[in-house]
Structure formats: structure tokens, C-alpha cells
Amino acid sequence: MFAPGASRYLAASALALVVLSFLAGLIGVGPLTVAVVVLWAFWVFFAVFLRDPRRTPGEGVVSAADGRVREVTCEGARWRISVFMNVTNVHVNRFPLDGEVEAISTSGAGFRPAYRADARHNLQCSYTLATSIGTVEVVQMTGIVARRLVPFVDVGSRGAKGGRLGMIVLGSRVDVLLPADRAAPTVRVGDRVRAGASTIARVMG
């Protein structure tokens, strides 16, 4: 299964590569053959990158992204749980809880390395969700390579826990901000998590 909208592009490019492969076979080994081999390698890379496996939601609050936990901090009335994604992770981001999208906003500028603290100033897309534990925010951040943030939802959309929220093209970072009086983190820095499946916080009250 592939990320929403990706199948038609992968199918079209695969068809074009099949035709090129046929032509390369007729011509014989040469520059066209080398080009076809390189293009197939890129196709396989993007097919893996755009994968979107089915996930069974875990208990409590689940991770919005695949990757490794890079930060768990309490910022006043909210917990921030930050996950760094590399290019081998699934890049589809998911709802951490059942909720309705109240707002989607973009802010920031620049493309600093996503694992650094100052990446909070990078170009980002924030989703404000109304949930059973109050307002939850999911923030997609760009990085050096990842420069495209793709929402799958609009304001007013409702999503189930583990449902598809958006995608970051070529990795980067996703932060989930939770009300500190209603959620308690269950992960630590360095833990590996899977979007929609791994529990990152338990619900209190």
C-alpha cells in the first residue's frame, strides 16, 4: 500500500521505465541501458519511501510519526514529544488520538537539520486537533533534505486514532504537544516508535 496519491505516479513511471527497458534491450548494452538501471534504482527507492503499511492503533496516545524519540520535555502546560524521521522510515504521519482538525497553519523559515534544537524555527505545518483530552497539536518540520509538507486533511476533517494526517517528503521531524494535566509520556529519548501503533503517552483522568 502506498501513500495517498502516490500509486498513479508510481504506476505511470513504472510503465515508462518498462518501455525504456524494452528499447534498451533492442539497442543492446550502452548508455541507455545504464540510464535505465539507474532510473529503476530511483523508482525502487521512491516506492519504498512512499509505502504506507496498515497499522493497528495502540493504547492511549500513539505516535504521529515513525522514527526515534529525540525529545520528551514539559513546556509549561504541555508535553512535547518529538520524533526524528530518517529516509528509511515510513513518512506518512497519523492522528495521535481521535479528533477534529480545528486549524492548520504554517510558520517558520529555513531548513536546519531536523535533529537540532533550533529546527523549531524551520518551515513547519501545525495541526490543531480537538480531542477527548483537550487540544492536541501535531507539528511537521522540514529539515535539510525534507522540504515538502503534505497535508491529507482540511480544517473540519475528523480523523480516527492512527488515521492518516499528512506526510513529510524525505524524512525530518514531527512533534506532538499534549496537555500535561491529561497525558503522561510513556517513552524516553532514544526509543523507536511507529506512527499510529506505538503508545507515546497514557491518558489521565
Annotated catalytic residue within 7, 107, 157, 172: 172
Burial of residue 173 (CB within 10 Å: 0-12, 13-18, 19+) is: buried
Nearest to 164 by CA among 69, 50, 80: 50
The span from the CA of 135 to the CA of 167, in Å, is 21
104 forms beta bridges with: 127
Cβ neighbours of residue 201 closer than 8 Å, sequence gap 6 or more: 60, 61, 79, 81, 178, 183, 184, 185, 186, 187
The CA-based diameter of the chain, rounded to the nearest angstrom, is 70
**Catalytic (active site) residue 126:** no
Any idea which residues carry the catalytic annotation?
A: 172
